Amino acid sequence: MAPPHPFDPLSAAEITAAVSLVKKAHGAGLFFHVVSLQEPRKAAMTEWLAAPETTPRPARVAEVVVIENPAGTVYDGLVDITTGKITAWEKLTGMQPIILMEELQHVENVVRSDPMVIEQCVLSGVPREDMHKIYCDPWTIGYDERFGSDVRLQQALMYYRPDIDNTQYQYPLDFCPIYDGNKDAIIAIDIPKVRRPLSKVAPLDYHHMAQEKRGGYRDDVKPINISQPEGVSFSVEGNEISWQNWRFHVGFNYREGPIFNNVRFVDNGVERPIFYRMSLVEMVVPYGNPERPHQRKHAFDLGEYGAGYMSNSLSLGCDCKGSISYLDADMPTRTGGVRTIKNAVCIHEEDDGILFKHTDFRDDSTIVTRARKLIVQNIFTAANYEYAVQWIFHQDGTIEPNIRLTGILNTYIMNPGEDTHGWGTQVYPGVNAHNHQHLFCLRINPNLDGGNKNSVFLSDAVASDAPVGSAENFYGNAFYAKRTRLETTKEAKTDFNWSTMRSWDMVNENNVHPYSGKPVSYKLVSREVPTLLPKPQSLVWKRAAFARHTVHVTKYADDQLYPAGRHVPQTSGEPSLGLPEWIGEGNDSIVNTDIVLWHTFGLTHFPAPEDYPIMPAEPIVLLLRPRHFFASNPVMDVPPSYSVTPSQILAKKGVYDATDKMSTLVLGGRSHGANGVNGSHCCTNGTNGVNGHSTNGVNGHATNGVNGHATNGVNGHATNGVNGHATNGINGH
Amino acid sequence: MAPPHPFDPLSAAEITAAVSLVKKAHGAGLFFHVVSLQEPRKAAMTEWLAAPETTPRPARVAEVVVIENPAGTVYDGLVDITTGKITAWEKLTGMQPIILMEELQHVENVVRSDPMVIEQCVLSGVPREDMHKIYCDPWTIGYDERFGSDVRLQQALMYYRPDIDNTQYQYPLDFCPIYDGNKDAIIAIDIPKVRRPLSKVAPLDYHHMAQEKRGGYRDDVKPINISQPEGVSFSVEGNEISWQNWRFHVGFNYREGPIFNNVRFVDNGVERPIFYRMSLVEMVVPYGNPERPHQRKHAFDLGEYGAGYMSNSLSLGCDCKGSISYLDADMPTRTGGVRTIKNAVCIHEEDDGILFKHTDFRDDSTIVTRARKLIVQNIFTAANYEYAVQWIFHQDGTIEPNIRLTGILNTYIMNPGEDTHGWGTQVYPGVNAHNHQHLFCLRINPNLDGGNKNSVFLSDAVASDAPVGSAENFYGNAFYAKRTRLETTKEAKTDFNWSTMRSWDMVNENNVHPYSGKPVSYKLVSREVPTLLPKPQSLVWKRAAFARHTVHVTKYADDQLYPAGRHVPQTSGEPSLGLPEWIGEGNDSIVNTDIVLWHTFGLTHFPAPEDYPIMPAEPIVLLLRPRHFFASNPVMDVPPSYSVTPSQILAKKGVYDATDKMSTLVLGGRSHGANGVNGSHCCTNGTNGVNGHSTNGVNGHATNGVNGHATNGVNGHATNGVNGHATNGINGH
C-alpha cells in the first residue's frame, strides 16, 4: 500500500497506533479528545512538494489531547507515528480541550435522574414520571465566572417532548442545570426570577407523520433527473482532487472538517500554486439576550465541538444529487477507538448556467458557453443547527465558499403576553427564539505562484479628490481603485467599508502582470460581514477576538491555526487567546512574506415565524477571485454550446454547435410557433429577431427589417426601409 | 380568441392597429420609437382583479412615441385600441425618445463614408481602402453641453477589425465622431490631444476558430444531462405563471423587459397578494475616466436603449438547459412594422440543493428536503455587454433577482507605456478598459395581503445602549433589530449601512403576525450596493438621481415608472428628472399607503486581464424574503427526500424514503467501502456513525459506542462504555 500523502488525515490504523503508544506510556484510563494529524511543518512540506521523489517524506505526527480521570488533568502531546515516539507531552492547567459528542450525550441521562432537576421539572409542570420525556442540549458552558476553567462544565438547555416524535424545541424549560464532568454530577441549576411553566401549546412538527396529519405533501413536484452517462469530469485519487484546471488536496480533521491544501491551477500546462491552505477555522454564535444565563449561549462550534466531529454521513440522492464521490473520515472515540464517518465529504459537479456569452448586434455572431462547478460539501449538525458548507470551485479560477444555514432555532420559553424586549421573537406560542449571529472565520495561507511571499492590499472604490469643474475632473466622473498595502499586523486589523465596497487583495508583488502592471492577486469579495454585536470588553468580544474585525493578517507560523485559541472551552478571554496573542503590539511586517489572512463573515439572525419549526436554508456566499493572475480569460478553451463568427454567418457554414440535445421545449405561454426554438441555428436571434435572416427584423436579409436585404427595413437592400437599397425608405438609394 | 389579460403586452395586431391609427391621423413619415402597452390604471385594475367577471375590462391603451422627420419633432401620445381613438397627443420640446437599434446600426455605414472620419482613420493608420473594416458602437451621446437636447445625437465609439472575425474591441480608435440624426450626418469629431495610432498587436479572439488555432478545446468536460420525464412543475397560460405556490403575470415591454405583476402566493389555499408590480426600471453605467469625451460614457441601458428592444432570442439547450418554456415579445419597428423576438423570456425550474435538513444527534431522526427554484430569464445585449437577468422564485416565498454580467468590456486605445492614471486597466497590449459601475434600479410596488397600504421600515442590527457591566447588559451581549419607520419621501432617501447590515422591510402594518406581533413583511436583503462614484453635482449625478441613494420610497402614482425620466436620451440633469421631480420637498407621507420602493444596487468594475477578451460572468444577487408573513415555515409540505422520526428509528419502520434513485456513486477517494452509501437508510449517520446502529459509534446499539446498547461505549448498554449498562465504562451500572 502506498504511504499516505503527508496532508492525508490520520487513518484508522494511525489513530489506533497513536492511542496505543499513549496508553502504553500514560495508562489506559485516558479519554482521548483529539487524535489528529499534526500537519507537516510548512518548511519541510514545501521542500517535499517541490521534489517528492528526492525529499524525505515528512513524518506522520499525531496531535493527542487527553483527559486523565477522575482528576480531569489535561495533557496535550505529539506522537510521532513513524518512529513510534511521544515527542511532546505537556500538562495543561486552566484549559479544557474540545468537548466530545459522548460527553454531551451523557448529560441527558444525568439530568433525568438528578433530584434537583426532577424537582424543577415538576415545578415547571412536567409529571415526575415523565422524566424520560425530558431532553437537553448540553453545551459547553461558554464561560461562567462562578466556576472558572479548572472544572469541566456543561450547561444543559432543557426541553420536554410530550411525545418522542415531537420537536423538543417547541417545549423549552426555563431553568438550566450545570453539569460537572469531573464529578459527573449536576452542581448547580440556574433558575430565572420570573418562572415560566411548560407550554401546553399544540405541537407543530416538521416530520412526515405530522405533515401527513396536516393534509400530506403537495403533489405538483415533478422529478428533476440529473445524470452523467459518460462519467464525471473530476477524479479523486486518495485525497487529491483534479477537476478542470484545479488540483488540490482535501484533508479533514475533527475541528475544521474539510481542509484544502496545496490548491493550484493548471494554467496553459503549468501548475501554479494559489493557496497553501484554506479552511474554516472557527465560528462563534453569540445570542443577544442579556438575561442570565443566556449570555453563556455563544457557541464556538468549531473550537468547542468540532465541525469534523459533528459531521453528517452524507447520503446519495438526498444530501447530494447527481454523480457523487465521497470521502470518509476516521475519528477517535473518547475511549481510544475509531469511528468512521462514512461520506463525511461529498464531491460532485453541477451545471452552472452561462459562463460567458456575447452576441454582436450588427452581425449576429455569437458565442454561448455554459459553466459548471465542482462542489465539495460537508454538513455538520451543531445540536439544533445544521451548517451545509460548500466549497465551490469555478472553472474561471474563482473559489466560492458557500454556507447554507438550516436546522432548528435555539429556543427559550416565554409566558403568554411576555415582552421579548426585542431580544428575541415569539416564533410560535410560548417559543422565544433569541437574536443571534453566526460569525465564521475563514483562514487562508496564500502562496500565489509559489515562494510564499505575499502581501495584502485594501482595494477601495473612491472618487477622485479633484472637484467637479476642475481641469482634472471637469465632469466629476473620475473614480479609481485606491490600493493600500497593509504593512503590519496592527494595520491589518481592517473592517469592511460599504461606501467604498472594500475588498482585500492577496498579492504576490514579485509577479507583475505583463499587461496590467499589477501584481498577481486573489481578491476576497465578501459582503455578509456583520460587526460583532456584543460590545467591546464584553465576554464574547474577549473570547472571540477574531470577530472584532473583518480581516486580520498575520505572519505565517505553523501552529497558529485557531484564532480563538487551541483549547476553546471555558476560556475567559482574559487574556484573549489566539489572534491577539500572536499579533501582540502588531509591529510584525506582513509585506512580501509568508502570511495568513483571517476573514470573519456571517450573518445576524433576527428570527421570524418562517424559520419555525425548521428553517428553510439561508445562504451566505463569498468569492475568492483571480485578478491580474491569468494572462487573459482562462476559460476560452471550455467548449461552447454554440459559436459562430461573422464570416460564418455570411458563408452560412462553419458553425460550432454543441447545443445540449437533452433539453426539451415545454409548450405554453405567448410563443408564436415553432420558429426559433427548434430553428436551424442556436443562440442567434432566430427567424424573427433583430438581426439575421429575419422576416420583420432589423438587419440582414429581412423582409421588413432595417438593415441588409430587408423588404420594409431601414438599411441595406430594404424595400420599404430607411437606408440602402430601400424602396420606401428615407435613406434609400 | 380570449381577450388579452389587461397586463399582457400589446400583441402584433394591437401594435399594428395603434400604428395605423397614428399614421392615419399624423401622416406616414413617422418613426415609431415606442408602441407599448400603457398598463391599466391601478385603481381600475385593482377592481378588475378583485372581480374580473363582473368588472369592466380595462381598455387596451398604447403609449406611442414618434419622431416626425425631417424636422425631428417628437410626439408622445396615447391610443385607445379598444375604441380606436387617439386620446392624447403631445408635442415635446428638448426631449429625445429612446434610441432604436435601427438608428444605431445606421451610423456604422455613415462613418465609413464620411470624409472627416476617413481622414481620421487614415491618420490612425487604417488604410483608406479599409473603411469596410471600420466599425463603431454608436451610443446615444449621453449629454454634451455643446449641442444640447434639441438635436438627436449619437457618439460613435470607433474600432477596427483587421479581419471580419476579429473582435473589434481589441482595436479601438482614438477619436469619436458625433452623428446628428436629424441631418443624417457626422457633425463633429472629438479628437484627443494625445494621438494614439492603431495598435498592431496580434488579435486574441474568443470564438471557436481562434481557439482551434490555439490548440482547441479541453476534452475533459463530460455531459451533465437534466431531464424531467414526468413534465415540469409549472404551468404557463398566456402570460400567467403558476409554480408551486407562486402565481404571477409576466409582462414585457421595450424598456424594462420582463415585468412581474400581481405576484401572489397561495398560503394554505388562500391567494395572498405580495407585489402589485416588480421590475428593473433603469440602470446607469458611468465610466470613471475624466478625460473628454469619456465623461459621455454613462449609458442608461434601459431608459436610452431598452432592455426589451435589446433582448436576445433565447435558445434551447444553450442559454437555458432542461425543460424550458418561452415567451415571445412583439416589438414595433421604427417604420411601424412589428418584429417578434422569439423566446425573449425563458422559464424553467432547477434543483436547488437542500431546502432544509435536521438530524437529531441523540436519536438519528432526520429530515432532508431538497429545494427547487423557478427561473424566469431574459438576456439583453447592450452593444458590448450582456446582462443575463434572472428572476428566481423559491419555494419558501423568497424572490431572488439575480443578474450575471458577461459580454465584452468597453475599451479604449492606449499607447505603449502610457499611464492609465488609475482610470482604467491595460487588459491587453494597447487596450485600456476603463473603470465603470453598473447601477441597476429595482422598482417594487408592494401590496402585501392586498389593500395597497404599506410602509417601509429600516431594520438595523445594533447593540444595546446599556454598557457592559450595567444591570440591563451585564455581559455586554445584548443586541436587537432597531426598526425605524420611514415617514416621508425625504426621510426615505436612505443608504446602506454595513455596520448595522441594514435591510429594508416593506410591511403591511394592518396585518400583524399572531405569534411575533410584527406586521407582515417582505425584507429587502441587498449587499452589492456601491455608492454612485461620480461626485455630487457631476453630470452623472444630475442625470441618474435614482443612484444617489440605496433606497427611495415614493407614494404610488400610475405614471411614475422611470426614475431617470420618461425620455432619457440627452437629458442634462438640469433639473434632474424622475425621482427628484416626484419627491420634490419630500413631505409626502409614505405611511400605510400605496407606495413604491426604488432600490439601487450593482457593482463597481475595475477591469482585469481575466475579463478579456470576453468576461466570465460575474453575479449580483439580492433577496426579497418573507418575514412575519407566513404562520410558520411555508415549505413543510414539500415532499422530503427522507424523513424518519425517533419512534420509527426504534421501531425500524415507517420511514419516508423518496431518495433520488437517479443519483450514482462515483468510486474513488478515501472511502472505506460499501457501507453507508448504499446502506439501508439514507441520511442518517449510517453504520459507523456517531449515532444509530453503529459498531464503534457513540449512541444507540453500538458495539464500541457511547450511548445505548454499546459494547465498548460510554452510555447505555455499553460493554466497555462510560455510562449505562456498560461493562468497562466509567458510569456503567
Instruction: List the helix and strand counts (H, then E) for chain A.
Output: 8, 37
Chain A nearest CA to B234, separation (Å): 8
Which residue is listed with cell 462613418?
A: B111
The secondary structure of residue A178, as a DSSP letter, is E
Report the distance separating Cα B108 and Cα B648, nearest Å. 73
The reply to whether B672 falls in a domain is no
Written as nine digits, the cell of B75 is 410626439
Residue B722 confidence (pLDDT) above 50:
no
> What pLDDT shows up at residue A672?
58
Q: Which residues of A touch B10 (CB under 8 A)?
A: none
Which of A228, A288, A327 lies at the smallest CB-CB distance from B222?
A228
- What does the angle CA A23 – CA A28 – CA A33 come to, to the nearest 5 degrees? 75
H/E element, A210: helix A208-213
Name the burial class of residue B664, with classes exposed (0-12), middle (13-18) and buried (19+) by CB atoms within 10 angstroms of its CB.
middle
The reply to whether A224 falls in a domain is no
The reply to whether B534 falls in a domain is yes
> What pLDDT shows up at residue B292?
94
Residue B224 confidence (pLDDT) above 90:
yes
Chain A residue nearest residue B8, CA to CA = A670
Tell me, yes or no, if B385 is annotated catalytic: yes
Residue B69 banded pLDDT, cuts 50, 70, 90: confident
> A interface mutation test: which of B110, B170, B267, B339 has the most A CBs within 10 A?
B339
Residues A478 and A333 in one domain: yes
Mean pLDDT over B378-395 rounds to 98
Which of B357, B500, B616 lies at the smallest CB-CB distance from A356?
B616
Chain A nearest CA to B554, separation (Å): 24
Q: Which residues of B touch A642 (CB under 8 A)?
A: 315, 318
> Is B350:B322 a contact under the CB 8 Å cutoff?
yes
Q: Which residues of B touch A731 (CB under 8 A)?
A: 106, 184
Residues A271 and A402 in one domain: yes
Where is the domain boundary, A72, A92, A112?
Answer: A92
Single-letter residue type at B251 = G
* Number of structural domains in chain B: 4
Report the distance separating Cα B346 and Cα B392, nearest Å. 12
* Interchain proximity B361–A687, CB inside 8 Å: no
Q: Which residues of B touch A459 (CB under 8 A)?
A: 606
Residues B50 and B182 in one domain: no
Residue B717 confidence (pLDDT) above 50:
no
> What pLDDT shows up at residue A671?
64
Report the distance separating Cα A705 and Cα A366, nearest Å. 20
Residue B670 banded pLDDT, cuts 50, 70, 90: low
Sequence length of chain A is 733
The reply to whether A471 falls in a domain is yes
Chain B nearest CA to A486, separation (Å): 20
Residue B672 banded pLDDT, cuts 50, 70, 90: low
* Bigger pLDDT: B160 vs A707: B160
DSSP code string of B645-706: -HHHHHHT---EE---TT-EEPP-SS---STTTTSSSSSS--SSSSSSS-SS-SSSB-SS-B
Q: What percent of chain B has pLDDT over 70?
A: 91
Written as nine digits, the cell of A17 is 497506533
> What pLDDT shows up at residue A369?
98
The reply to whether A1 falls in a domain is no
Could you tell me which of A402, A144, A434 has the C-alpha nearest to residue A288?
A434
- Beta strand pairing status for A503-512 and B257-267? unpaired
Single-letter residue type at B508 = N
* ipTM for the predicted complex: 0.93
Q: For residue A542, give the CATH number of its domain.
A: 2.70.98.20
Inter-chain Cβ pairs, chain A and chain B, closer than 8 A: 854
In angstroms, what CA-CA distances link A534 with A280, A283, A604, B112, B527? Answer: 22, 15, 12, 66, 22
Say yes or no: A550 contacts chain B, CB-CB below 8 A: no
> What pLDDT shows up at residue B111?
98
The reply to whether B655 falls in a domain is no
> What pLDDT shows up at residue A716?
35
Q: Which residues of chain A have pLDDT under 70?
A: 1, 668-733
Q: For residue A83, give the CATH number of its domain.
A: 3.10.450.40
3-state secondary structure (DSSP) of residue B16? helix
The secondary structure of residue A581, as a DSSP letter, is H
Tell me, yes or no, if A385 is annotated catalytic: yes
**Residue of A8, A114, A301, A363 marked catalytic:** A301
In angstroms, what CA-CA distances link B300 with B146, B287, B630? Answer: 20, 12, 38
> Is B628:B516 a contact under the CB 8 Å cutoff?
yes
Residues A363 and A504 in one domain: yes
Residues B153 and B64 in one domain: no
> What pLDDT shows up at residue A280?
98
> Is B424:B607 a contact under the CB 8 Å cutoff?
yes
Q: Torsion angle of alpha carbons B238, B242, B247, B250, nearest 10°?
A: -40
Chain A nearest CA to B443, separation (Å): 22
> What pLDDT shows up at residue B671?
65
Report the distance separating Cα B561 and Cα B581, nearest Å. 12
Residues B65 and B137 in one domain: no
The reply to whether A319 falls in a domain is yes
Could you tell me which of A5, A12, A8 has the C-alpha nearest to residue A332?
A12
Reported as a single tens digit per residue, the pLDDT across B519-531 is 999 999 999 999 9
> B interface mutation test: which of A666, A682, A717, A725 has the most B CBs within 10 A?
A666
Residue B669 banded pLDDT, cuts 50, 70, 90: low
HEC per residue, B572-622? CCCCCCCHHHHHCCCCCECCCECEEEEEEEEEEECCCHHHCCCEEEEEEEC
Residues A29 and A176 in one domain: no
> What pLDDT shows up at residue A326?
97
Name the burial class of residue B269, with classes exposed (0-12), middle (13-18) and buried (19+) by CB atoms within 10 angstroms of its CB.
exposed
> A interface mutation test: which of B141, B541, B610, B671 has the most A CBs within 10 A?
B610
A residues 495..524 contacting B (CB < 8 A)? 496-501, 513, 515-518
Q: Which residues of A touch B614 (CB under 8 A)?
A: 356, 358, 367, 633, 636
On average, the pLDDT of chain B sits at 92
Single-letter residue type at B295 = Q
A142: left (phi over 0), alpha (psi -120 to 50) or beta: left
> Is B345:B258 a contact under the CB 8 Å cutoff?
yes
3-state secondary structure (DSSP) of residue B368? strand
Which of B235, B370, B480 lies at the smallest CB-CB distance from A422?
B480
Query: What is the widest separation between alpha-carbon atoms in chain B?
Result: 103
> Is A454:A637 a contact under the CB 8 Å cutoff?
no
> What pLDDT shows up at residue A46?
97
The reply to whether A729 falls in a domain is yes
> What pLDDT shows up at residue A681?
43
Residue B28 banded pLDDT, cuts 50, 70, 90: confident
Which residue is listed with cell 436571434?
A: A685
Angle of the A101-113 helix axis to the A115-124 helix axis, nearest 10:
70
Report the distance separating Cα A410 and Cα A419, nearest Å. 18
**Residue of B144, B301, B363, B588 marked catalytic:** B301
Reported as a single tens digit per residue, the pLDDT across B435-483 is 999 999 999 999 999 999 999 999 999 999 999 999 999 999 999 999 9
3-state secondary structure (DSSP) of residue B462? strand
Residues A444 and A557 in one domain: yes
Say yes or no: A226 contacts chain B, CB-CB below 8 A: yes
Reported as a single tens digit per residue, the pLDDT across B575-622 is 999 999 999 999 999 999 999 999 999 999 999 999 999 999 999 999
DSSP code string of A387-412: EEEEEEEETTS-EEEEEEEEE---EE
> What pLDDT shows up at residue B709?
36
Domain membership of residue A146 as a residue range: 101-203
* Interchain proximity A629–B610, CB inside 8 Å: yes
> Is A218:B266 a contact under the CB 8 Å cutoff?
no
Could you tell me which of A154, A157, A158 has the C-alpha nearest to residue A124?
A158
Report the distance separating Cα A358 and Cα B53, nearest Å. 46
Mean pLDDT over B137-153 rounds to 96
> What pLDDT shows up at residue A717?
36
> Is A134:A126 a contact under the CB 8 Å cutoff?
yes
Single-letter residue type at A328 = D
Give the residues across from B599 on adjacent strands.
B442, B551
Residues A138 and A160 in one domain: yes
Where is the domain boundary, B35, B63, B92?
Answer: B92
* Interchain proximity A422–B371, CB inside 8 Å: no
Reported as a single tens digit per residue, the pLDDT across B401-440 is 999 999 999 999 999 999 999 999 999 999 999 999 999 9
> What pLDDT shows up at residue A709?
36
Residues B114 and B25 in one domain: no
Chain A nearest CA to B4, separation (Å): 11
Could you tell me which of A655, A638, A640, A727 has the C-alpha nearest to residue A692?
A655
Chain B nearest CA to A285, separation (Å): 11
Where is the domain boundary, A179, A203, A227?
Answer: A203
Residues B55 and B176 in one domain: no
Reported as a single tens digit per residue, the pLDDT across B644-659 is 999 999 999 999 999 9
> What pLDDT shows up at residue A670?
63
> B interface mutation test: which of A381, A516, A623, A661 has the most B CBs within 10 A?
A516
Residues A373 and A308 in one domain: yes
